[in-house]
Amino acid sequence: MTPRLFPIAPAFLLLAALLPFGASAALATPSVVVSPSPEALARTVARQEIEYLRRQYARATDLIGLNTPEGIAEGRAIYRRIFAADAKIAATEGGKTGFSATGPDAWVEVAAKALAVFATTQHMIGTQLVEIHSLPDADGKGGEASMTSYLQAWHDDPGRLVDIFIGTYHDTVRYTPGVGWQIYAMELERVAGQVTER
């Protein structure tokens, strides 16, 4: 029986024959250069900066969860950067508010108290969706957006339990001249979770 060549074999043979003569150039496709508008670039940068607010929040919360004066101080400094001074902050479940505070310092106290029983925490941010309503003007004034971020948080109470918290952050952000994007309203909505005893 005579072996059959696959239909693609002639293409390989042709390519092998042409390589010494610059076949790669002959096979290249013309490239298209797309230049985004200045507004599109500004929106992309704004979206990235806004997403990082939530990531910084997760880091700050884990620092506060260390339950050390240094960790709490470092977490507080991050909260003061990412939250507006008058930010309205709440944690809810089933439409009911469990915790609430106004301003970053008050939320540090809420977080420190809630996390005090745990030895370690890890707040992992998942899917983030940012909707930019307006960009700041040339003077850095104005600029508003909203963001939704998924959360999976792991809280370890050694020898007793592990608490897994699944939630969604709903943020409203605005641009503050001289500071940048800040959260001025945050709701952490508990979606599900599990507490496992050791």
- Using DSSP, state whether 11 is helix, strand or coil: helix
| Residue 192: strand pairing partners | 166
Does the pLDDT value for residue 12 go beyond 80? Answer: no
| pLDDT, average across residues 73-84 | 98
Q: How confident is the model at residue 27 (pLDDT cuts 50, 70, 90)?
A: low
Q: Please report the DSSP string for 67-91 in residue order.
A: -SHHHHHHHHHHHHHHEEEEEEEEE
Q: Tell me the pLDDT tens digit for each residue of 54-70.
A: 999 999 999 999 999 99
Residue 33 pLDDT: 83
Cα–Cα distance for residue pair 60/46, rounded to 1 Å? 21
pTM recorded for the entire structure: 0.81
Distance CA 91, CA 73 (A): 22
pLDDT attached to residue 36: 86
Nearest by Cα to 193 from 159, 171, 158, 168: 168
Domains of the chain are: 38-197 (3.10.450.50)
**Nearest-CA neighbor of 120 among 155, 169, 164?**
155
Both structure tokens of 60: 């700050």
Name the average pLDDT for the chain: 88
Q: Does position 191 have pLDDT exceeding 80, yes or no?
A: yes
> pLDDT tens, 135-183?
999 888 999 999 999 999 999 988 888 999 999 999 999 999 999 999 9
pLDDT bracket for residue 28 (50, 70, 90): low
Continuous segment of H or E residues that includes residue 58: helix 38-64
